[in-house]
Structure 1
Amino acid sequence: MEELVYVRGIIIKHSPVGDYDLVATIFTAERGKITAFARNARKPGNRLSGNVEPFSFGTFKLYEGRNSYTIVEANIENYFEGFRQNFESACYGSYFLEIVSFYTRENNEDKELLNLLYVSLKALLKNNIPNKLVKCVFELRTLKTQGEYPGIPENMNLLDSTRYAMNYIATSNLEKLYTFTVTDEVLSELEKISSRYIGDSIDRPLKSLEMLNMI
């Protein structure tokens, strides 16, 4: 017997199935990362058409079957359409989605990480903070939410401003997380640290990171 459930989340990726269907991976607040079928979503005029694209954030009405989910309706609050006009920001956004996909598991509630992802994607579309800094903040704060943040490295001769920035990233409220900027010197140190920390934590190549490194 199929049960009707509602989840709040964001489409991480999708792929075609059959002639007209899509299968989508959704990172949800309530059930972690789930896979759901979108029947006939590739048919023009279908009510799910355009609503199961990567970055689509909102509430999804699903049928929960014995072995899979099926999307019935999608109430999308933010399509993050700015990524369609900004290739660089879209590459950073795709990198964030891939990191989230690595850390999330089915039936593992993670509202904190979902909220972090949402505010970080919004920050990529603003001009008040460089994308490289958004990346550093997202990486370090993600590690903090997952209990894998090593703290400020003691074996590096860091600027005091870098130490302050790292402490701010680890402890500030989400609504204030992207309200600061740093000098080029501090950003360079943050990039080295966050890249090393992520590399130590994620044990597989990230395709989106390879794309970022080519930009």
Structure 2
Amino acid sequence: MPVHITTDGIVLRERAIDEFDCVLTLLTRERGIISAYARGAKKPRGTLRVPAELLSYSCFVLFSNRERYSVDKADLDTVFMGVRGDVEKLSLASYFCELTAQVAPREENADGYLRLLLNTLYLLDTGKRACGFLKPVYELRLLTMAGFMPNLVACTGCGCYEAEEMFFLPQSAQLACGECVRSFPADQVRLPLGRGVLAAMRHILYSEAEKLFSFSLPGPALARLEEVCECYTVTQLERRFDTLDFYRTMKGSVNG
């Protein structure tokens, strides 16, 4: 039965289908990931022009008919200008959007996913947290919410909480101490974790949402955390992301 629904949402992707119209991929609070037809969104003076842009967060009025959606109205809330004006931040935010579109639920409540993305974009937008900090936090927390939560409680072999050497196994999503890791096949990827990196990963998994970003690591450990979380994301989802490759390129050009 055709109905109108009102929901908060953020644009994860926009795809033009002709000169003035486009299809939006939205992360919405009540319906999760949906595709919505936006008529006239590309018109220079159209009311949907800004709300239909990537990263625009709005209150959408959607017409729904047989799980097909079209945008009737959108009241713009936030556009994250600090992200849009920085090529490195924008490339990272685009990766967050592509990753979210891949794993967030469809046609069901996604309030937690929306809050995570908005909080992360706020910190990125205001510069309160650096790209290199936000990237691994978002990756690991998002995957955990989507059902890819690794077991970081203890070594999968002997059950020890912490040993002199600890390794993360991205394929099986487990921990192994230096002794037990020897029993795994030699070709299985194993990533050594320092104490600080392991503690940070546990914090990302198990902390309350309000405390998610409340930790710090020195530069080398943070870089290692970023490597481990990216490897885990790519391994578990079994795919590459064009936006991730672009972010790496932009990060290299900015830091080079």
Structure-1-length-normalised TM-score = 0.92
Contact kept, 8 Å, 1:62 with 1:72, in 2: the verdict is: yes
Tell me which residue corresponds to 2:240: 205
Give, in whole Å, the separation in 2 of the partners of 1:94 and 1:109: 22
**Sequence identity (%):** 28
Tell me which residue corresponds to 2:53: 53
**Code of the aligned partner of 2:206:** T
* 1:213 to 1:19, Cα distance in 2 relative to 1, 3 A: closer
- Note the 1:114-193 alignment, pairs <5 A: 114-152=114-152, 153=168, 154-155=175-176, 157-193=192-228
Tell me which residue corresponds to 1:10: 10
* 1:151 to 1:123, Cα distance in 2 relative to 1, 3 A: farther
Q: Which structure is larger by alpha-carbon Rg, 1 or 2?
A: 2
Give, in whole Å, the separation in 2 of the partners of 1:200 and 1:192: 12
Structure-2-length-normalised TM-score = 0.78
Give, in whole Å, the separation in 1 of the partners of 2:243 and 2:87: 12
Q: 2:193 is paired with a residue of what secondary structure?
A: coil
**Code of the aligned partner of 1:107:** E
Contact kept, 8 Å, 2:234 with 2:240, in 1: the verdict is: no
Q: 2:137 is paired with a residue of what secondary structure?
A: helix
Long gaps (5+) in structure 1: none
Give, in whole Å, the separation in 2 of the partners of 1:167 and 1:202: 20
Q: 1:125 is paired with a residue of what secondary structure?
A: helix
**Code of the aligned partner of 1:206:** F
Q: 2:8 is paired with a residue of what secondary structure?
A: strand
Q: How large is the Cα RMSD of the aligned pairs?
A: 1.7
Long gaps (5+) in structure 2: 153-167, 169-174, 177-190, 251-256
Tell me which residue corresponds to 1:102: 102
* 1:160 to 1:67, Cα distance in 2 relative to 1, 3 A: closer
